[in-house]
Amino acid sequence: MALEDAEREELETLRAERAIHRVMLAYARGVDTCDFERVRDCFHADARVEWGDWYRGSRDEAIRWLSETIPSLDGTLHVFGSPWIEVDLPSGTARCETYSINSARYPRDEAGGVVQNVAGTRYYDDFELRDGHWRIVRRRNERVWVQNTRDHVEEPPVRARREH
């Protein structure tokens, strides 16, 4: 039984959305594990990257900047919500907006204090399908809010359970 044109288009759109969603997750995993080749694979070679006020430039310069910056932290964590993806199959392009909560833990300072930075961020990505691969051609992000804590407690105290 052959698929109707509308069903075929819907299936291709779902495949594109899944591929784009996987790129978003690969980016988060790559940054958080310092796997910068994985991060590089999320972008086409000619991609432009704009990370707020911190960085603007090419993909390869962005990867170099990340590889010099992220390993100096005690750890990062990117938690992405479900992306909003708008696919234009005939043009092989898509727009993606993803909300994220990002966390970075800074090394102890001279006084022994620790800063934990947590930020709400929106990622705005333009994707293109080239040679069968959906990848980012332009990334912009915007911090919506930031919360820094100092002298973070390793584990909160456990309270006794109440019997009901």
Domains contained in the chain, number: 1
Residue 85's domain comprises 5-150
The predicted model gives 84-100 an average pLDDT of 98
| Best CA proximity match to 88, nearest among 126, 122, 124 | 126
**C-alpha–C-alpha distance, residues 2 and 5, integer Å:** 9
pLDDT at 158: 66
Domain assignment present for residue 164? The answer is no
Domain assignment present for residue 76? The answer is yes
- DSSP code per residue over 90-150: TTTEEEEEEEEEEEEEPPP-TTS--EEEEEEEEEEEEEEEETTEEEEEEEEEEEEEEEEEE
The predicted model gives 76-85 an average pLDDT of 96
**Residue 11 per-residue DSSP state:** H
Domain assignment present for residue 113? The answer is yes
CATH number at residue 53: 3.10.450.50
pLDDT value at 80 more than 70 = yes
- The pLDDT tens digits for 7-58 are 999 999 999 999 999 999 999 999 999 999 999 999 999 999 998 888 899 9
pLDDT value at 162 more than 70 = no
pLDDT at 110: 84
The predicted model gives 126-154 an average pLDDT of 91
In the predicted model, what is the mean pLDDT of the chain? 92
Domain assignment present for residue 157? The answer is no
Domain assignment present for residue 40? The answer is yes
* Residue 157 confidence class, pLDDT cut points 50, 70, 90: low
pLDDT at 109: 85
Domain assignment present for residue 27? The answer is yes
pTM as predicted: 0.87
CB 47 within 8 A of CB 128: no
Percent over 90 (pLDDT), the chain = 79
| Best CA proximity match to 87, nearest among 23, 3, 1, 2 | 23
- Return the higher-pLDDT residue of 163 and 133: 133
Domain assignment present for residue 155? The answer is no
